[in-house]
Amino acid sequence: MSGTEAAYQAGEGSSLAIDKALYDRIREAPGRTLTESLTIPIRSGRAWKVPAGHVFRIVTLEGPQVADLNLWNLHNPRERFWASRTRQIQRAHISIHDRLWSVLPYLRPIATITDDSLADYGVDAEGGRLHDLLGTRCDPYVNHLLTGEDFDFHCHSNLVRAVLPYGLDERDVHDVLNVFQCTGLNEQDQYFMKACPAQKGDYLEFFAEIDLLCALSTCPGGDLSVPLWGPEARDPLEVCRPLGVEIYQLAPDTLEGWMAPESPAYRGGHGLRQPEVDWTAIKAEKFGKS
């Protein structure tokens, strides 16, 4: 393996070896039924349920707006979206055919991106890409650290309020997928954010691999075209816009061949009963040196 090849590669039969034809069929097949739609006002959050085998879309209703997404197993919220492992297994910025993975010990794809109206954005002149897993949600703790002031409408706070009716709390909110957000790393390897390039009607679509509880925050930074920190910072309220969510049931024949992913068959134990192993002797036998 060279230094620039992907570290995580799919073996035959691996969950990384996605059946692209299946997900293309999900994207293209007719016969969808809209079962629910909701609007998330500016600087707020909403949560909703998606049954396994359904599709949900996040839609820009009035123009550019970034959003922070959390996902949980509806029946077991200890299983939730794992942004950092998804970043390693998939990419730092994700799009069609990329999957969102859950935390240990579950480690399975819980949603798959089936469509993205901005999939052709690619890499811009500054190295910006869309749908970011590099950063995380804005929160009132960092805000207070930087400004000394309290502000209760960060994405973290929006997500907390969204999930309280479902029996979850602040401890359940986790690192996010930054939907429609354009980001990258500069020459100093520092995180940067750019103005959102989405237009009215753009969308990102997901297929629910398991029964999901989803929560989304309409970022109080709006489309991120206004500086949020530093000497030029000002209130970006004027560039904040609502977002829509649409949930669709698919025709049964669309899902032919699909099965909900299973967790790895690791039998547990983690080697807690440490075996007596002479690793030096094994290494010498295998590689001919101590």
- Could you report the per-residue pLDDT of 80-96, keeping only the tens digit for each? 999 999 999 999 999 99
**What pLDDT score does 277 carry?**
83
- Could you report the per-residue pLDDT of 130-153, keeping only the tens digit for each? 999 999 998 889 888 888 888 888
What pLDDT band is residue 269 in, cutting at 50, 70 and 90? confident
193 contacts: CB under 8 Å, gap ≥ 6:
135, 181, 182, 183, 224
Residue 83: both structure tokens together: 């942004």
What pLDDT band is residue 7 in, cutting at 50, 70 and 90? confident
**What pLDDT score does 290 carry?**
52
Predicted TM-score (pTM) of the model is: 0.91
| Contact by Cβ (8 Å): 212, 110 | yes
**What pLDDT score does 228 carry?**
79
What pLDDT band is residue 208 in, cutting at 50, 70 and 90? very high
What is the SS3 assignment for 21? helix
